[in-house]
Structure 1
């Protein structure tokens, strides 16, 4: 059985690779793209939707309208989304604390 985070990381690596292919070979050419804030907001929206879908699936599983396999898959996707979000939050907090420790 594979680690659920591995799938999320692999998906992120694939998206980064696809985004990198769109970067022009000439570094003087600048293509407009989503800002860091827009990418972060989109990722947060996708995470919230994953958690909501997991909740809906769990409720449907409790009522017996969905098989256990789908409930487990949705729960694992929800868990991995939350783990990645917490890891990103931890890194942001660490970076902020490092900035606060810098002498001016």
Structure 2
């Protein structure tokens, strides 16, 4: 059985962390053709924006917890919200990749 955990170098983790801090949630605009209904692309964009904002909020709460400005309860709640957001994002990614691979296997 293969070990699913790998050891990452500290500079790689720090680089990923710094690039994640720069992410911003894109604005979702309604188009007149959809009459207020979101398209699939807009729903995915909105979900990604929500995930980014949840991650940024959890990061801010964790930082304030380390500084002693937030209670342990707040840090735990933010961490749990972050964990569930990451699990949902990974599941969505896996489903999208699976669907893409299924389309590639279709005969033309």
TM superposition score normalised by structure 1: 0.69
Q: Deviations over 1:6-47 (max 9, x none)?
A: xxxxxxxxxxxxxxxxxxxxxxxx955111111110110000
Quote the Cα distance in structure 1 between the aligned partners of 2:56 and 2:67.
17
- Which structure exhibits the higher relative contact order, with contacts defined as CA atoms closer than 8 Å and separated by 6 or more residues? 1
Specify the SS of the correspondent of 2:74: helix
Runs of 4+ in 1 over 6 A off after TM superposition: none
TM superposition score normalised by structure 2: 0.66
Q: 1:26 maps to which residue? A: none
Aligned length: 75
Identify the structure with the greater helix proportion: 1
RMSD over aligned CA atoms reads 1.3
1:30-41 pair list within 5 angstroms: 32-41=36-45
1:5-44 pair list within 5 angstroms: 32-44=36-48
